[in-house]
A and B are shown apart, each in its own frame.
Chain A
């Protein structure tokens, strides 16, 4: 499922709120009918690539092995079994040969694939991916699309924040059109129409945006309009 919308529409915010990384203003998140906290092991998360410092002194394999930490539990060190799992996941994304590279020596696309492998190693049912296609090379894009299809065939769900409208119809079965509110959501062939896109990207929401800023301003006297809250 693709989540599509203009800049500042709240695509990443939606995902982060679902994962309780930022507080929710309102609403409730259930995952397979239960609150998120109970279903954590079923959920895999691929953050935006820029969210971490790639100068960190770890190898690609170390990063992927982080996906096994939760199952491993407290205090127990990473052993051979976890490294095997990590290698396997890297193999699926075609980056196994880079396992021992320090992560700053990877290209952007390779870094993204390492992040995906880390989520993959967790063997979740539901994946949240924040802009995995942002600024990656063609080979990586193909690898990610293949992975998405494989995951779908295994009966898993991927929620992907996406930027490129041209490829939406090709990559996703379902789509959510988002601009500070859900404009439309449903099967891609029904929803992904010119009319709906105009609603999402058009200027109709100018008033809402203004109201939102006024609200933010009122709730937080220190802020000034145009500055997003983090």
Chain B
């Protein structure tokens, strides 16, 4: 244990040292440049708000460059939304992050190799190949750390992510010091720079996105199985490891071609946010995939359009912000597991429960005042204080419930201070009390619930009893010779508090 910790810390130390050692000679220069840029951004605060005609031009894709960027990010969004869904369901969200950060050293190294071979250092396919190689290397490293040591997934990912990024920054530092090689522009891969995109990039993104889309749709069944239950998948003879590799390769492809558009720091948000947002709207995986692809596409389109209108805002960041806004909206309004839906459902239930409690309390109160010789319960007026002692509710709560009941025309005031059930209210109260008691009797007879506890137990269920269940209850109890009028309570009703 100790030895492993030591090895690891040595590894980390070397990495940190390497970062500092290689980067420091150019540190001043870098700092100057970035300080310069920061100063520019600070001193020039005004945002040039676009005019309507500018918005029209971007929305209708009239400018060649805008068209290229907007279409690229839209297509990329679709693909990343699709494969991101599987990544999310495989619980590998952070893996995408480790992967994208591990791309950076590859870019720098490949640049060096290509320059050394006398070629153009910024030849894009070459750079992306390098990114792919180290990105995949990062994933392999995570898996190796996880499988051979006791370091857990999250720690392994965090480690690889930061170390690989550190190495990448160091390599970029070295690259900039190389003689006769203009490395300017490589740092665009970190934050992304859509403005630098050309036709060649568009073709690449489209081809990769199409391939990823087709692959993830073809392998839908297999990916679903592996994500849901890998143990079962493996007993069925599915090559789980290979399917995982296929899935991660697709993620890698999207990540690598997306580096230029959104940058390696933000690409993980592009992979995960659409899928996470889509989950709020549906319980069906096919619909979730479709929706996630659509949300990805919308984020890409809207994000790059906004960025085209406000040149000061980098596209990658805006895309991620748009995706996050969609996520937020989904979280609140989502039709399947949105927060608002739950809150409303709970409020509706609470209201219903409150109303039923009030009506039953009133009914039981007037029932207790029934003349012993009368068979029927007469609708007599009662005082509010009597009602207050029926349940553990505060005066304020009770007053609110009465107000609602009065609004619903269930309760009316009688002679000023006294309360009385209205005609429909009386019927409703009798029905509610009857349901409650039917359920109580059922519980006592069939579930061996003690009579002293049954009131509480029935209370938790009766409010959600549907008409169908009440009918079943009736049948069940009629079989046992029960009368179906409001039956007497099977336990003594506590009247005072």
Contacts and interface: CB of A to CB of B under 8 A. Distances in A.
Contact of A75 (B89, B218, B235): B218
B221 interface: yes
A111 to B, nearest CB: 12
Contacts of A70: 236-238
Interface in B213-263: 218-222, 224-225, 227-229, 231-232, 234-238
B284 A57 contact: yes
A19 B240 CA distance: 14
A66 B237 contact: no
Most central of B1, B3, B229, B235 by chain A CB within 10 Å: B235
A59 B284 contact: yes
Contacts of B238: 69-70
Contacts of A20: 234-235
Contacts of A72: 221
Nearest to A51: B231
Nearest to B282: A57
Contacts of A152: none
B4 interface: yes
A191 interface: no
A193 B220 CA distance: 51
Decide if the interface of chain A is mainly helix, strand, loop or mixed. loop
Contacts of B232: 45, 47, 66, 118
A139 to B, nearest CB: 13
B228 A63 contact: yes
A58 B285 contact: yes
Nearest to A52: B229
A118 B150 CA distance: 34
Interface string A93-120: 0000000001000000000000000100
Interface in B387-421: none
Contacts of B150: 222-223
B220 A77 contact: yes
Contacts of B220: 77
B283 A74 contact: no
A40 B150 CA distance: 32
A27 interface: no
Interface in A44-77: 45, 47, 51-53, 56-59, 62-63, 66, 69-70, 72, 74-77
B62 interface: no
Interface in B267-297: 279, 282-285, 288
A197 B118 CA distance: 78
A9 to B, nearest CB: 20
A56 B227 contact: yes
A221 interface: yes
Interface residues of B, number: 30
Contacts of B285: 56-58, 62
Contacts of A69: 221-222, 225, 236, 238
B221 A78 contact: yes
Most central of A45, A118, A122 by chain B CB within 10 Å: A45
Nearest to A78: B221
A66 B228 contact: yes
Interface in A1-57: 16, 19-21, 40-41, 43, 45, 47, 51-53, 56-57
A122 B480 CA distance: 44
B149 interface: yes
A102 B283 contact: yes
B1 A40 contact: no
A224 B282 CA distance: 44
Contacts of B229: 47, 51-52, 66
B469 to A, nearest CB: 15
Contacts of A16: 231
Contacts of B149: 222
Contact of B235 (A43, A63, A221): A43
B228 to A, nearest CB: 5
B224 to A, nearest CB: 7
Most central of B149, B150, B228, B238 by chain A CB within 10 Å: B228
Contacts of B279: 57
A127 to B, nearest CB: 11
Contacts of A122: 236
B235 A45 contact: yes
Given A69-B221, A75-B219, A222-B150, A52 B283 contact: no
B237 A40 contact: yes
A49 B209 CA distance: 37
Contacts of B227: 56
Nearest to B1: A222
Given A56-B228, A222-B150, A77 B284 contact: no
A221 B282 contact: no
A158 B214 CA distance: 40
Nearest to A128: B235
Contacts of A59: 283-284
A48 to B, nearest CB: 9
Contacts of A19: 234-235
Contacts of A47: 229, 231-232
Given A40-B235, A66-B229, 13 more contacts: A20-B234, A21-B231, A41-B237, A45-B232, A56-B89, A70-B237, A74-B222, A75-B221, A75-B222, A77-B220, A78-B221, A222-B4, A222-B149
14 contacts: A40-B236, A43-B235, A53-B228, A56-B227, A57-B282, A57-B284, A62-B224, A75-B218, A75-B222, A76-B221, A102-B283, A118-B232, A222-B1, A224-B1
Closest 5 CB pairs of A and B: A102-B283, A45-B235, A70-B236, A40-B237, A57-B285
